[in-house]
Structure 1
Amino acid sequence: MQHLYWDLGETGAGACFEVDRRGSTARVCLMDSDEYQACLDQEAYKYHGGFFDYSPLTLQVPYDDYWYLVIDGYDRVKKATVVQLFN
């Protein structure tokens, strides 16, 4: 699976990340390390987020863990940035 991703590292519950992307609709996902590995292994996985056709958007980390932010639909996304708003 080809995608854009950011390794957010150990991140506490409540941390917010603003995702600004240019291009068409894309799936933006927050995944803990186990779910991200399942995604890479092409197994069933869960994520927080969804399909978005607007930008910027804000995603909040639901619990303490090691996190990744993934943008699927990379071929339709022209540019993307991720900024942590607060922790």
Structure 2
Amino acid sequence: LLYLEAHEIDKSELLKSVKLSLSLAIGLAIVTMVAVSFALHTIWPAIPLAAALALGAALGPTDAVAVSSLGKEAALTQRQTSVLK
């Protein structure tokens, strides 16, 4: 499904918003990784912080397919959808 979404994305919209897309992708992935890892390490101290960071990194990326399905219900604009994908 992710491969199909990569082929269906509007490339011109992606190029117009590449700076915003990259800042969201990198910034939100790092924030999610740190939040999940510290929450997990706080709740379950037996898990080393390095292992918690690895789990947080695995849970961080968003799914373009989920954005597509939510975009149909949330009435997002074309630009919002392309940036989130």
TM-score, normalisation: structure 2: 0.24
TM-score, normalisation: structure 1: 0.23
Structure with the larger strand share:
1
Higher relative contact order (CA 8 A, sep 6+): 1
Q: Which has the larger radius of gyration?
A: 2
Structure with the larger helix share:
2
